[in-house]
Amino acid sequence: MKTFFKAIGNLAKKPITTKYPFEPTFIPDDYRGLIGFNADLCIWCRRCEMACPPGAIVFSQAMDGQQTYHYNRAVCIYCSECVRSCPKEGAIFQTAQPAPCALKAENINNGWNKLFAESLESRNIYAAEKKRLTALKAAEAKAAKPSADSSEKSS
């Protein structure tokens, strides 16, 4: 009977739920939100990429050796493992901002998989090119060395 009268009394009370789109919900100050990146501080060691559990960070490399940081907020699990692994403080950091929804136009899954594969490929191409150039340089040096020796001898 007590419960019954309480239930009737509750009819006059305000709802306890938050009217979410019109009112803000509870978000703590240090909410685990989007990962930020500061290219000026980064030393391009790629430790964040190696530490990231879901693979939401990848670095691509242009032919001049310049690396570019790519980040996918839909793959990220916001565990801040990248921030802990970073040797340079402030290069990669966590903000309290919740991630916005992904749109179809962004092609966030397939586009990311393609970008991820392309980034790894670009690094391989750069590494191969660098190896080839180093080998070429070594060969040139080797070719130049005997000639230098012979020139010394002749002189």
Partner 1 sequence: MATQYEIPVGAQHIALLEPLHFKFSTENEKIIDTTANVGYVHRGIELACCSKFKFRQVSFVVGRVCGLCSISHTTAYSQVAEKLLNLDIPIRAKYLRMLVIELDRIHSHLLCLSHVAENSGFEALFMKTMQYREFSMELLEAVCGNRIQYDFSIVGGVARDLKPAVANSILERLNHFKPQLNELVDIYENNWTLSLKNKGIGILTKEEAMRLNVVGPFARAAGLAVDVRDETEDLLPWKAVGYEMVTDTTGDVFARNMVRLREISVSMKIIENVINGLPESPLLIETKAFPEGEAVVRLEAPRGELMYYAKGNKTQVLERLKIKAPTFSNIPAMAETFKGNEYASAPAIIASYDPCLSCTAR
Residues that bind partner 1 (CB under 8 A): 3, 7, 16, 26-28, 30-32, 51, 53, 77-81, 84
Question: CB 123 → partner 1: shortest distance, Å?
Answer: 20
Whichever of 112 and 126 has its CB closer to partner 1, that residue is: 112
Q: Where are the beta strands (DSSP E) in the chain?
A: 35-37, 57-61, 67-71, 92-94
Distances (CA, A) of 129 to 23, 119, 120, 141: 56, 15, 14, 18
In angstroms, rounded to a whole number, what is the distance separating the alpha carbons of residues 55 and 75? 7
Whichever of 45 and 79 has its CB closer to partner 1, that residue is: 79
Question: CB 33 → partner 1: shortest distance, Å?
Answer: 8
Whichever of 50 and 144 has its CB closer to partner 1, that residue is: 50
Q: Tokens in use for 107? A: 């092609």
Question: CB 86 → partner 1: shortest distance, Å?
Answer: 14
Paired strand residues for 57: 71
